[in-house]
Amino acid sequence: MNAPLTLAAPAKLNLYLHITGRRPDGYHTLDSLVAFAGLADRVTLAESPDQSGDQSAAFALAVGGPFNAGLSRGEDNLALRAARALAAAAGGGPGGALRITLEKNIPVAAGLGGGSADAAAVLAGLASLWRVDGSLPARVAAGLGADVAVCLGARPSFMAGIGAALGPAVALPEAAVVLVNPGVALETAAVFRAYHEMGQADGDRPRPALEPAPEDARALALALEGTANDLTPAALTLAPAIADVLAAIGAAEGCRLARMTGSGATCFGLFDHGAAARAAAQSIGGAGRQWWCWAGPLAAPRQAALDPRP
């Protein structure tokens, strides 16, 4: 039996997000540059003997951490779905019981892909524990949701279509980010409905030129000048406080770029280095606002035993 395995599930950032169209099944297609932050959930996988023979009891889920409230512990939890899907694809479940423990450090329904990151970490961890075919986790990830596939690699890359079409890894400079959420949970489906109701124009636009690789945060911000997050106007109709968050980040000393990530309501600021980002987070969070703030590195890779806490 394997020893328990703990992995970090880093928060996803959409450095830009363009809506390029809508398929007949209602899903919107997109083009986005995805990066990852040092903020991460912590996912622990522990095997134990199970003599019951009840396959439905072979998977158990426990959730803790500062953002565990309101998170489903049931069958619809994406991490649990990922474990069951990989077991089915591999031709059977674990040899015994599997306990999945999530330490939720990423805000829920915040545009940071926390649920997808957890599911991706489960797939990566179980692939190692169960020694499954190396291509199987990616195939399973493609059926679990738009962000799971990109979170599985946990490296900066372009993604397109409904999120499953991934480009090669992108080289990003060493930089720091500030993440700010006004304390508003936004469901992705609701934001896309608002986007559709607004009748905004879709269409392909050129991707930013990232070759040669930007050498610093300033160069990255310049490369992203012609891009946007197309979901921002729709998210603003549901959470007007996003405008205040973007203004506060943009006014912070040293901020190179302020933008919403995903479907919101979290916004990020791009900074040259950690000291500038930490100073900005302290200033933004210390102005009497009840906002969640975090500062740390951009493009931190997922690795076992990474400390994900702020």
Helix axes 274-285, 241-251, angle to 10 degrees: 130
Catalytic one among 31, 50, 118, 147?
147
Is residue 12 part of the annotated active site? The answer reads yes
Quote the CA–CA distance of 77 and 119 in Å, as a whole number: 9
3-state SS string for 83-142: HHHHHHHCCCCCCCEEEEEEECCCCCCCCCCHHHHHHHHHHHHHHHHHCCCCCHHHHHHH
Decide if 176 contacts 276 (C-beta within 8 A): yes
Helix (H, G, I), strand (E, B) or coil at 298: strand
Query: What residues have CB less than 8 Å from 256, skipping those under 6 apart?
Result: 217, 218, 220, 221, 269, 270, 271, 272
Decide if 302 contacts 106 (C-beta within 8 A): no
Catalytic one among 12, 31, 50, 118?
12
Bridge partner list, 101? 44, 62
Helix (H, G, I), strand (E, B) or coil at 47: strand
- Percent helix, strand and coil across the chain, each to the nearest 5: 30, 30, 40
Is residue 104 part of the annotated active site? The answer reads no
- Phi first, then psi, for residue 124 (nearest 5°) are -65, -40
Decide if 107 contacts 181 (C-beta within 8 A): yes
Decide if 151 contacts 120 (C-beta within 8 A): yes
Look up residue 304 and give its DSSP letter. B
What is the sign of the dihedral through the CA atoms of 204, 205, 211 and 214? negative
By annotation, the residues acting in catalysis are: 12, 147
